[in-house]
Amino acid sequence: MNVLVVGSGGREHALVWKIAQSPLVKKIYCAPGNPGTGRLAENVPLKVDDLDGLLAFAREKAIDLTVVGPELPLSLGLVDRFEAAGLLAFGARRNAAIIEASKAFSKDLMQKYRVPTAFYEVFTEVEPALAFIARHGAPIVVKADGLAAGKGVIVARTTEEANAAVRDMLSGNAFGAAGSRVVIEEFLEGEEASFLAFTDGQRIIPLASAQDHKPVFDNDEGPNTGGMGAYSPAPVVTPAVHEKAMAEVMRRAVDGMAAEGRRYQGVLYAGLMIKDGEVKTLEFNARFGDPECQPLLMRLKSDLVPVLIACARGNLEGIELEWHDQAAVCVVMASGGYPGDFAKGFPIDGLEQAEQIDDLVVFHAGTAEAGGRIVNSGGRVLGVTGRGPTVAAAIDKAYQGVRTIAWEGAHYRTDIGGKALGR
Q: How far is CA 45 from the centre of its chain?
A: 23
Percentage of the chain exceeding pLDDT 70: 99
What confidence tens digit (pLDDT) does each residue in 145-174 have? 888 766 688 899 999 999 999 998 888 776
Contacts of 354 (CB under 8 A, 6+ apart): 360, 362, 384, 401, 404, 405
Which domain CATH number covers 414? Answer: 3.90.600.10
Asked if the structure places residue 115 within a domain, the reply is: no
CB 381 within 8 A of CB 334: yes
Asked if the structure places residue 69 within a domain, the reply is: yes
Is 8 in the same domain as 51?
A: yes
- Give CA–CA dist 294/45, Å, rounded: 23
Q: Which domain holds residue 27?
A: 2-93
Asked if the structure places residue 111 within a domain, the reply is: no
Asked if the structure places residue 113 within a domain, the reply is: no
Is 171 in the same domain as 198?
A: no
Asked if the structure places residue 99 within a domain, the reply is: no
- Give CA–CA dist 77/84, Å, rounded: 11
Last residue of a domain, one of 278, 313, 348: 313
Is 358 in the same domain as 308?
A: no
Position 146 scores a pLDDT of: 81
- Give CA–CA dist 19/25, Å, rounded: 7
Is 210 in the same domain as 305?
A: yes
Is 153 in the same domain as 57?
A: no
What element of type H or E holds 338?
none
Q: How far is CA 203 from the centre of its chain?
A: 22
Is 142 in the same domain as 203?
A: no
Last residue of a domain, one of 260, 283, 313: 313
DSSP per-residue codes, 121-169: EEESSHHHHHHHHHHH-SSEEEEESS--TT--EEEESSHHHHHHHHHHH
Which domain CATH number covers 296? Answer: 3.30.470.20
What confidence tens digit (pLDDT) does each residue in 242-291 have? 999 999 999 999 999 999 999 999 999 999 999 999 999 999 999 999 99
Is 67 in the same domain as 20?
A: yes
What is the rounded average pLDDT of the residues 379-400? 98
What torsion do the CA atoms of 200, 324, 70, 10 make, to the nearest 10 degrees? -170
What confidence tens digit (pLDDT) does each residue in 24-42 have? 999 999 999 999 999 999 9
CA distances from 371 to 54, 177, 407 (A): 29, 37, 15
Average pLDDT, the chain: 95
Is 332 in the same domain as 304?
A: no
Asked if the structure places residue 116 within a domain, the reply is: no
More confident residue, 179 or 308: 308
Asked if the structure places residue 362 within a domain, the reply is: yes
Give the total number of structural domains in the chain: 4
Position 158 scores a pLDDT of: 95
Is 161 in the same domain as 244?
A: no
What is the rounded average pLDDT of the residues 72-85? 98
Is 375 in the same domain as 395?
A: yes
Q: How many CB atoms are closer than 10 A to CB 94?
A: 18
Asked if the structure places residue 204 within a domain, the reply is: yes
Position 177 scores a pLDDT of: 73
